[in-house]
Structure 1
Amino acid sequence: MSIRDNTNRRLKEVLDIMAAGSWLDEKPNGGEVLAEAAARIPFTKEESELLSGGIPRGHKNLTKATADLVKAGWITKGRAGWGITDNGLRATIAFNTVDKLADALSNGTLIPAGTPLPEQPTEAAAKKPAAKKASAKAAPAKSAAKKKAEVADVVLGEQPASVALAGDFGEAVGAENWARATRVSR
């Protein structure tokens, strides 16, 4: 599968995760939603490649793709968390496969008139996700981060604010070459 195909699969998961949480009247943190989607559809080796900001390529692609869900009016993003709209809930029914969802987003397809809202799950089923969430609220993010590190064979830790390199390649990037004699001691 291509990176775009995997991003579309994760985007469908984001919408499904948001829909399942809607019955609990909770607005999940966007990071939790993205981590859960990445845990359900793990990053490939190429998607696990860290970009210059230390963020995996797959995570960056998914984050950018969620803007399409906002533009379609299916989810909202805010400081208090992410929410799914009634049209977002209807989209889970109208565009119930990855291909249908991706096609609808890329073509701006409207949800067909008369598409009903999904039925609320039974009380027992609605409580199951809450119990799972309460028992390991931060677990999806930690689990996804651990999987990313394992896939990339990289241990993620604190990232430095800046990096200095010494060598004679400065000229190639439009800067002066490093000279040992001008090194500043601290």
Structure 2
Amino acid sequence: MRQNPARRAALVDAAIEVLAREGARGLTFRAVDVEAKVPNGTASNYFANRDDLLTQAGARVYERLEPDPSVFAGALEGPHDRDQLVALMHEMVERLSEFRSGYLAMLELRLEATRRPELRAVLTRQIRADLDANVAFHLKIGMPGDATTVVLLYLALNWLIVDRLTLPDVLSEDRVHDLVTSAVERLLPDEGS
């Protein structure tokens, strides 16, 4: 296997774009080569097989969906109240929505993981670690609510993003904004909760 990290990253990024556009069935080494604008056969020199490519695409999507460190720094500074939680949730929905191809690729990978145990294991570890880290961060900085609040926001807002990216005419942008705010406010009706 080839070891050029920049080329490997470009190929995995191309795989993400192919997944988002063509679905898992359209993800072939040739499609990745075309998307990455590299000679035919390049992807096959970097990935042992299609499962390897899918697994690495899953890991890469998660890297690219990570928030900028300034988001965490701002959250640490406070205030640690419901309004800040609303702001953080708006940031998250916007960030995930802006990387449309990455989010759609992750949906494709999740579906593919129902048939591929290795991919399922990778995604389960990543998503579980991310959810655990979000809960731990929320509790550590003293945001209102508890672990269940974080999980409920995770579940509700992820589906809101799915609708926003796949069926954008179901909810207007104003409605999406209002729903993010309402989700937090309904989970935490009193400021001190």
TM-score w.r.t. the length of structure 1 is: 0.29
Q: Which has the higher strand share?
A: 1
Q: Which has the higher helix share?
A: 2
Greater Cα radius of gyration, structure 1 or 2: 1
